[in-house]
Structure 1
């Protein structure tokens, strides 16, 4: 498949399509750190095709620089990753770059467009945080550019992914306008809700997936694709994603060769997170926490482990006033949440993980910390050889905004069959 990726983020959706052999003619993304991540991952795939992953492994071990990695993988002069905010001003420039990529790769047309505009303006949490400002947020209207790309390249199909709030934002007006614009552009659409834990991801994450087909007078039916769900024939819990990583503490980073605490396991191999022969740990990095927060984490972990109860901040204020640092104890009382290691799926990894770790407390009471970068990435089904570029806050945001690669892979397999 020839694919164009819009609003790419760190490339979770792209990763799924790359696994089925797709060729990309562009990844368009506004965030500069996410673009660096996309370039580094492109380097990985280029080197993998050439059986030169020893170069990539040198990068993971810090033996070569990012610049050297990009040069050795032939992406220094590549324009596949387009770091631009999509707007009326930049649209012609982006089209020119994509057309140049098509020509260089001797490709005549795009088969599939994938991606979804930033979801902050559509998400319920984002609307609550932004309040009245959400009405004038320009991100509400980025779907119009998605349609412009469809009109320009006329792909056979497209995949549009977004949060559940897409349908209710602006009292549903944005969604109604989107459907009208897609119909006018010549596409029949079908939508469905996809749950990540149906597709091999140990996370309770649900998203709206809109699938579009170029209208064909010879065709009568356009059923929503039956993406193959994954039913594991063995018991698995969230702990299986975490237990081979070494114990750590707040504000620490563990990276290097032969640093895993245990051998890989059946699930990690199945999900393409860690293979038998991969032994380089990167980005097992935690944010710092003060002692009050760590004591609250102890309370939260104890409440879950002993009674399967979630810590309530207002109740904590009555019982342990010495731990209360927020004046508001009546709203957002669920601000502390433990990753449920003994369940089959964690709660959703959101971009908010970049703000603080209180909603993503590691279940081990000996560690009293929030998730590391690598642990959050694993719960999103990113492989351990996927390296995120940028500072810790940006990386957490990239992870929280991403489509889980394992789910994306199931989408890509079916779309490839249909194409």
Structure 2
């Protein structure tokens, strides 16, 4: 398996867990790439070192990858020599979502990050893997009036002349797949068209009895004192006072809170983002963990007047406490927020590996009709 835009390793850890659970699957991480050095170090420590030991490396060029895999390339994808990467059977890429996110300017293909999916297409065209898994935000569907998603699907379906993939795009809500967070993401699974394997979307009913509440995620078991990435943020007295007026589920603009909150603590902005100083609700999944943002965007405890620690955010992304993130607090926050939830990835890869192993599993119909979308695009082009 190879990865572009690998992040800290949520997709990779999910794939590894799935491989361990499905008989007959031997998964090896051939190579990975990310532009951020802390992220590469995190991936190296948690994904590659357990597998390759001292042979695992972080390098600055794909030419320097060791034979037999075990390397992560710290390099901007624009400069990456894709031709030099070793052959792979499977490919994963969570191409950057900045220009497709509903929270941003929604530039889509016209933004700085929008066209980066094409590097994934180039990997498919040159390495011809048997399968791929691509992930992006739910806003991808509507960017550029819906045309961006159609173009991406078209390029993934036929990345090169004579090479086609059967695509199964689906909008997953990861709280339905044992992740304690309401995080909706488009995941596209592709299988090379010359293979008989058929992928189906795994049914969330498999996970229906799982407790995905915030309280369970953060307290069962309790995080040990001194756990990695569990440093508490220094809260100003104004932040502490502001939070004291908010009930679980409320934010800085909730009408009830504004009626009793002193004027000096009220947020004066033209836009009112619903997650600003929003408290979590102990009995429900968290709202979406993000990787950046200023004051009021750090996610807030349901009863304590403080922001969550990075370790707590990592639990909401279903990373185990043994997963150590490298870098300073802001860097770790970014890595956690940009990652694919481990258990969400595990559910998808388990279904994928069972498909190749010809093992049946409960499945549902995909909620994105790829044939209809591509037909619409071709009709418009004509």
TM over 0.5: yes
Does 1:74 pair with 2:52?
A: no
1:95 aligned residue: 83
1:31 aligned residue: 36
Unaligned runs of 5+ in 2: 20-25, 60-64, 66-70, 357-382
Matches within 5 A, 1:401-416: 401-416=338-353
Picking from 118, 127, 133, the partner of 1:153 is 127
Counterpart-to-counterpart distance in 1, 2:268 and 2:250:
23
1:275 aligned residue: none
Query: Tell me, what secondary structure is at the counterpart of 1:403?
Result: coil
Picking from 228, 244, 258, the partner of 1:298 is 244
Does 1:40 pair with 2:38?
A: no
> Is residue 159–residue 209 contact of structure 1 (8 Å, CA) maintained in 2?
yes
Picking from 67, 77, 91, the partner of 1:86 is 77
Alignment coverage as a number of residue pairs:
334
Counterpart-to-counterpart distance in 2, 1:379 and 1:402:
11
Does 1:207 pair with 2:207?
A: no
Query: Tell me, what secondary structure is at the counterpart of 1:166?
Result: helix
Q: CA RMSD in A?
A: 2.7
Picking from 125, 137, 158, the partner of 1:184 is 158
Displacement of 1:235 in angstroms is 5.5
Displacement of 1:322 in angstroms is 4.0
Counterpart-to-counterpart distance in 1, 2:199 and 2:211:
33
> Is residue 355–residue 393 contact of structure 1 (8 Å, CA) maintained in 2?
no
Query: Tell me, what secondary structure is at the counterpart of 1:174?
Result: helix
2:369 aligned residue: none
1:361 aligned residue: 300
Matches within 5 A, 1:9-408: 9-19=7-17, 20=19, 21-46=26-51, 73-76=54-57, 79=65, 80-87=71-78, 90-91=79-80, 93-96=81-84, 98-99=85-86, 109-127=87-105, 136-185=110-159, 186-216=164-194, 222=198, 224-226=200-202, 229-231=205-207, 233=209, 237-243=213-219, 244-245=221-222, 254-255=225-226, 281-300=227-246, 303-304=247-248, 310-312=251-253, 316-317=257-258, 319-324=260-265, 326-328=267-269, 331-332=272-273, 334-343=275-284, 345-352=285-292, 355-356=294-295, 358=297, 360-365=299-304, 368-408=305-345
Under a length normalisation based on structure 1, what TM-score does the superposition of the two structures give?
A: 0.72
Change (3 A) 1:8 1:356: farther
Query: Tell me, what secondary structure is at the counterpart of 1:362?
Result: coil
Query: Tell me, what secondary structure is at the counterpart of 2:144?
Result: helix
Tell me the alpha carbon deviations over residues 212-250 of structure 1, each in whole angstroms, 9 at most, x when there is no partner: 12112x85x955343665436575632122224369xxx
Query: Tell me, what secondary structure is at the counterpart of 1:198?
Result: helix
Under a length normalisation based on structure 2, what TM-score does the superposition of the two structures give?
A: 0.79
Counterpart-to-counterpart distance in 1, 2:184 and 2:255:
29
Counterpart-to-counterpart distance in 2, 1:117 and 1:203:
21
Unaligned runs of 5+ in 1: 48-71, 100-108, 248-253, 256-280
Change (3 A) 1:182 1:356: same
